[in-house]
Amino acid sequence: EDNVLLVGEPMGLFIANEPGPLDEVGSYDFAVAGAEFNVAVGLTRLGHRASFLTKLGPDPFGDRILKLMEREGIATDQVLRTEGRPTGFMLKSQVVTGDPQIYYYRKGSAASTLCSQDLVGLDLSRCGLVHITGISAALSDSCRAAMLDLAGRAHDAGALVSFDSNLRPQLWASEELMRDVTNELACLADVFLPGINECRVLVGTDDPEKAAAWYLERGCRLVVIKLGAQGAYYADAQGRCGVVPGFVVEKVVDTVGAGDGFAAGVISGLLEGLPVPEAVERGCAVGAVQVTVRGDNDGLPTREELASFMASRPRCSD
């Protein structure tokens, strides 16, 4: 079944309208963020069916997120509203180069109360793939337990699990906990999608071959490591591996969301039965489109936009 379940915390997002530190910004644009939400948008734009499991507060951010999900065609029947808990939100700065500054207001949010109990009625029988990220595991102890449960439930139901480490040290009590939990989830995943800098933190190497081998030896089936502008390295349990070159991007506007676009591209390709290198190439393309816009998800391409981008754009190795 080509039905993807995403679980995580969509949030309100204020994007600075001018460069500078967050406390000096004069005006912000209002949007929606959240790694798993971005992947859901990417998948539905590419024509896949996605449903979202989360908890939202009874507030304008929650209403906005729900409406946006509906507009994007993301199924919302697993979205719970939680009385007495706010929907999380975050601020994002504007930068001329490098990664923007991020500040979260999400402690005690509705989504942080997600727990294994919320998964009890979940029907995974028509679900082909479950996508989770390390961010959800970082939100609270109950979220962490729920993500581990969910990975097990997905396997029992015959669904694939894809996992993006999405390391957010700000959200974890310690680097050790972040590393241990992330690696545990990665080894349970069929598809693991870390960045090369994350591999240094997680397994102590930035050699993509060594990092991928570490996860493959411990049960993961396919590891795809993002190499930034260079593209990505993949290795699977059957011994196939290689580097897929990235696409040339003339002007990077905002790097946030590139990894989520990458995940949407890779997952959609795998669900369509593309060979791994082609699915990875699609991931690189969606990630490259995404860095050319300011929002975390509004740049995600439709099938037509993706096809014309891939046909016209040179690769980094050209």
Residue of 118, 164, 190, 260 marked catalytic:
260
Shortest Å distance, C-beta 123 to ligand KDG: 26
Q: How far is the CB of 142 from ligand KDG (least distance, A)?
A: 17
Q: What is the closest distance, in whole angstroms, from the C-beta atom of residue 113 to ligand KDG in the complex?
A: 16
Cα gap 182→195, rounded to integer Å: 13
Q: Is 318 a catalytic residue?
A: no
Based on CB atoms, which residue is closest to ligand KDG, 34 or 57? 34
Residue 236 burial (CB count, 10 A): 17
Of 68, 147, 153, which is closest to residue 111 (Cα–Cα)? 147
State the greatest distance between any 2 C-alpha atoms of the chain, in Å, as a whole number.
55
**HEC secondary structure over the chain:** CCEEEEECCCEEEEEEEEECCHHHCCCEEEEEECHHHHHHHHHHHCCCEEEEEEEECCCHHHHHHHHHHHHHCCECCCEEECCCCCCCEEEEEECCCCCCCEEEECCCCCHHHCCHHHHCCCCCCCCCEEEEEHHHHHCCHHHHHHHHHHHHHHHHCCCEEEEECCCCHHHCCCHHHHHHHHHHHHHHCCEECCEHHHHHHHHCCCCHHHHHHHHHCCCCCEEEEECHHHEEEEEECCCCEEEEECECCCCCCCCCCHHHHHHHHHHHHHHCCCCHHHHHHHHHHHHHHHCCCCCCCCCCCCHHHHHHHHHHCCECCC
Kindly list the residues in this chain that would bind ligand KDG in the complex (CB under 6 A).
33-35, 38, 135, 166, 168, 256-257, 259-260, 296
Measured at CB, which residue is nearest to ligand KDG? 33
- Which residues are identified as catalytic? 260
